[in-house]
Copies of this chain bind each other. A is one copy, B any other.
Amino acid sequence: MGTHGSQERQDYGSGRLSNTAGGIAVERLRSIIERVERLEEERKALTADIGDIFVEAKSAGFDVKVVRQIIRLRKRQPAEVEAEETLLAIYRQALGM
């Protein structure tokens, strides 16, 4: 049981929990926060791992910017990519680019 956003009611929710401080179910709040923090830490580690792979790619001579483009492209439907690239070519040609 947490705290109602705007208007501050004494019981702060559907029923009073035993260990409340200022009407806050402290342990529930703490558990929510700590679980988010753990997952954020894991996510941060994954981001670092991804970064390491790009460092590896660069040292292997690959162009990281282009590798990222490939990864973005692989997330999309080929037909959609093709239609977009066709249109881009038409616009570029029309503009003399």
Contacts and interface: CB of A to CB of B under 8 A. Distances in A.
Interface of A: 1-6, 8, 12-14, 20-26, 28-30, 32-33, 35-37, 39-40, 42-43, 46-47, 49-50, 53-54, 56-57, 60-63, 65-67, 69-71, 73-74, 78, 80, 83-84, 86-88, 90-95, 97
B71 A6 contact: no
Contact of A73 (B8, B62, B71, B92): B92
Given A36-B50, A65-B84, A94 B60 contact: no
Identical chains bound together, number: 4
A78 B84 CA distance: 20
Given A5-B83, A21-B94, A23-B90, A42 B46 contact: yes
